[in-house]
Amino acid sequence: MGKDESIVEPFANLTLPEKEALRKTLREQYARVCEKKLKLNMARGKPGKEQLDLVSGILTVLSEPADCVDEDLDVRNYGNLSGLPSAKRLFAEILDCKPEQCFIGGSASLQLMYDLIAKAYTHGLRHSPRPWSREPQVKWLCPAPGYDRHFGVSRSFGMELITVPMTAEGPDMDLVEELVKDPAVKGMWCVPKYSNPQGIVYSERTIARIAALRPAAPDFALMWDNAYCVHEVYGAYLPFPDIIRLCAQAGNPDMVYEFASTSKITFPGAGISVMACSEENQAYLQGLLKFQIISYDKVNQLRHVRFLRDKAHTIEVMQMHAKVLAPKFSCVTETLKREIGPLGLATWENPKGGYFVSVNTLPGLAKRTLELCAGAGVTMTAAGATYPYGKDPADSNIRIAPSYPALEELEQAMEIFCLCLKLAALEK
């Protein structure tokens, strides 16, 4: 796709015939792109092959029986419900919490989150007056734009989802503090570091206000999905406060459940995960979990302990990922800056970490833009997905996931995306 100097002017300033001429030109470009029958995917936060190859040494860290003994424990056999002590120590160091606060899960933190909520429904949490299935209504706070799979879990249980706008510091806390006065509000989703999709890092002030919440529900669950805890794209590791300690200090020791995984450290969907919470919550939850599982895969836990070693080395591994990811993120933001910036069609975040670039188009353009992208072979997360019920009231937010395509493909995909956004704007 060639440069088109004629469009470096805000669309708002164009006359109707100028717009029509431009639309025709872009439409022709679009037709040529469609003919290429491309297949480009910027839909999900999937690491690319180069990243997977970087960490494939994990495949062989355990090669023979003797490798499988960890502190006198043969990890190839049953036992240790809450996971390997060494895996707990690794996650505790990464999250700056205590090993006793960690439960080591399987290949997906999403499953630990789902499971916690499922247990709240079937059995209740530690301070629940009754299982949530017996509550007339369960409401849930959803900072938005947010992670579609979080909202999906809540919806799947029939919760009423309440949208909380995101600010540059995290969720709008004035609103949150007001909303938690309703005892039907049982919890909130948070991705506190490099939020999905905006890459916003919650400010210290916001985190302090969250930890000090006074929810009317005694079993309010702060779902602290620290998915990107060591996932810097640019620059050095950014230290982040231990929410478990902060909640305890604020008199809310059992309010928070923190989640993390190695899905974007080693292999997505084949790593290990953690749920960290107060020891009292652990005791309560393990009392329920013991009926469900004997332990998650300890062989894979040990693989990760041996491969990642400790926090310092984990951060080194993440810096290798960052070297692959940074040019991709730059490609996205640079293309947006060049192609869209001068036109005033959208704003976007320039995240320092995480897995996404969040774009806000002028109202009413997101759905049509992605429709055009799909037509040209570029798959993106569905418009609206970042909002509760899949409905973005402004039809504006688009989540771009730059990690999966190779850089050349990404460049192509971004050119097409910008073309589609322009076309969508001109169609209006």
Instruction: Indicate the residue among 122 and 249 with the shorter CB distance to its own copies.
Output: 122
Instruction: Indicate the residue among 109 and 163 with the shorter CB distance to its own copies.
Output: 109
Least distance from its own copies to the Cβ atom of residue 81, Å: 10
Query: Under the rule (CB under 8 A), what is the footprint of its own copies?
Result: 44, 46-47, 49, 52-53, 56, 59-60, 62-65, 67-68, 74-79, 106-108, 110-111, 114-115, 118, 121-123, 131, 133-134, 149, 152-153, 155-157, 263, 267-270, 288, 290-300
Place of tokens 């960690």: 102
For 196, the token pair is: 């999905």
For 333, the token pair is: 């933001």
Instruction: Indicate the residue among 44 and 126 with the shorter CB distance to its own copies.
Output: 44
Instruction: Indicate the residue among 44 and 98 with the shorter CB distance to its own copies.
Output: 44
Question: Bridge-partner residues for 346, per DSSP?
Answer: 361
Least distance from its own copies to the Cβ atom of residue 66, Å: 10
Sheet strand arrangement including 357-361? 346-348, 357-361, 397-400
Least distance from its own copies to the Cβ atom of residue 135, Å: 11
Centroid of chain to Cα 325: 16
Question: Bridge-partner residues for 189, per DSSP?
Answer: 223
- Give the C-alpha separation, 13 to 45, whole Å: 37
Closest CA to 325 of 356, 360, 348, 304: 356
Least distance from its own copies to the Cβ atom of residue 400, Å: 17
Least distance from its own copies to the Cβ atom of residue 55, Å: 9
C-alpha distances out from residue 84 to 95, 151, 259, Å: 17, 31, 17
Instruction: Indicate the residue among 46 and 422 with the shorter CB distance to its own copies.
Output: 46
Instruction: Indicate the residue among 104 and 426 with the shorter CB distance to its own copies.
Output: 104
Sign of CA dihedral 206, 209, 210, 211: positive
Q: What is the 3-state secondary structure (H, E, C) of 197-245?
A: CCCCCCCHHHHHHHHCCCCCCCCCEEEEECCCCCCECCCCCCCCCCHHH
Least distance from its own copies to the Cβ atom of residue 15, Å: 47
